[in-house]
Amino acid sequence: MKLTGIHHLTAISARIRDNHHFYTRTLGMRLVKRSVNQDDVSAYHLFYADAKGSPGTDITFFDWPVPAETRGARSITRTHLRVNGIDTLDFWARHLSAQKLTVGPIVERDGRLTLDFEDIEGQRLAVVDDGGVGEAHPWDGSPIDAEYQIRGLGPIVMTVPKLEPTDTILQKVANMVPVREYAHPDSGKHTVHVYEMGTGGPAAELHVAVRPDLPAARQGAGGVHHVAFRTPDDDYEGWADRLNTMRVANSGKVDRFWFRSLYFREPNGVLFEIASDGPGFGIDEDMATLGEKVVLPPFLESDRERIVANLKPID
């Protein structure tokens, strides 16, 4: 039983209207689900993805009015977004610089061309050349030309003070495979360890940076809440049984309606989720109008009027 890649990444925004504008207009991603945090219905939960809302393409945000993240270890520290080719990286370097964002140079890292940048709240992102491998579903409504659009999520980087406890969970529980190492881009004396899921490749990698010199991060706006890994629908029950059999403390089975989830923390404190590929975002909306209205899972529908009345406009 294998995880097949990154499913989604969920981060935190204290400026959700600006966040919506940035991810749909500056980055050109599609808002495929406009909903609320199912555990805190006072907050939006927005999902940005490709045209189809495909698993493995969405970065999502909780709308929480909290202070900015304090950066450090025991956290997810960079999210890569896949694009195709050096011409596309050149486009993004120009486009993002024109927005007066924090943008690095195009560099080769771990054998791939990469451009680091930050969003309007300091969320650490990067576009990475995936060589055009695999399917892509450009969004016709994007302000970004189809050839330059973000194709999906790439490697997720987490930072820990000590590798061994995390390595045990990744290999023994999650069945990830360590495949290589590279020097940390911000500190050459430290190392980043690459783990693959499924058949590997940039859509199926977790990068673990080891930084014992850093204090623990404090979660906040501009930071990441958790990362989710993909499982085929038929393996979801097996993963639930596996976590319990191996005595890994976890949430138990959680039905998010658009996918099913299992949550657990690895020993250094980073929150992981295992999420099923289906049933998908089209189960309760026409695919042509995804994200245009507030959609609630069935168990919240009876409270729709109150929930929607408390949400701020974002368009």
β-sheet with 124-129: strand ranges across: 103-109, 112-118, 124-129, 75-83, 152-160, 205-210, 187-196, 177-184
| pLDDT > 90? residue 1 | yes
Measured over the CA atoms of residue 103, residue 109, residue 114 and residue 117, the dihedral's sign is: negative
Q: What percent of the chain has pLDDT above 90?
A: 98
Give the number of other Cβ atoms within 10 Å of residue 287's Cβ: 12
pLDDT tens, position by position, 47-68: 999 999 999 999 999 999 999 9
Alpha-carbon gap, residue 213 to 152, rounded angstroms: 32
Q: For residue 198, give every residue at least 6 positions away whose Cβ sits within 8 Å of its Cβ, in sequence order, or none.
A: 2, 3, 4, 5, 204, 230
Find the range with the poorest average confidence among 39-43, 69-73, 225-229: 39-43
Q: What percent of the chain has pLDDT above 70?
A: 100
Torsion angle defined by CA atoms of residues 299, 314, 54 and 149, in that order, rounded to the nearest 10 degrees: 180
Counted residue by residue, the chain has a size of 315
Summary mean pLDDT of the chain: 97
Q: How confident is the model at residue 87 (pLDDT cuts 50, 70, 90)?
A: very high
Q: Taking the model in full, what pTM does it have?
A: 0.97
Which is nearest to 222 in space by CA: 98, 125, 105?
125
Q: How confident is the model at residue 188 (pLDDT cuts 50, 70, 90)?
A: confident
Q: What is the pLDDT of residue 302?
A: 96
Q: What is the pLDDT of residue 39?
A: 93
Which two three-digit tokens encode residue 172? 């023994």
Q: What is the pLDDT of residue 315?
A: 86
Q: How confident is the model at residue 236 (pLDDT cuts 50, 70, 90)?
A: very high
Rounded to an integer, the average pLDDT of 117-121 is 98
Q: What is the pLDDT of residue 182?
A: 98
| pLDDT > 90? residue 160 | yes
Rounded to an integer, the average pLDDT of 155-169 is 98
Q: What is the pLDDT of residue 13?
A: 98
User: In the chain, at which residue ranges do the beta strands (DSSP E only) sit?
Assistant: 5-13, 30-37, 40-49, 58-63, 75-83, 103-109, 112-118, 124-129, 152-160, 177-184, 187-196, 205-210, 224-231, 254-255, 259-265, 271-279
Q: How confident is the model at residue 230 (pLDDT cuts 50, 70, 90)?
A: very high
Alpha-carbon gap, residue 247 to 3, rounded angstroms: 19
Task: For residue 35, give the 3-state DSSP assignment.
Answer: strand
| pLDDT > 90? residue 228 | yes
pLDDT tens, position by position, 189-213: 999 999 999 999 999 999 999 999 9
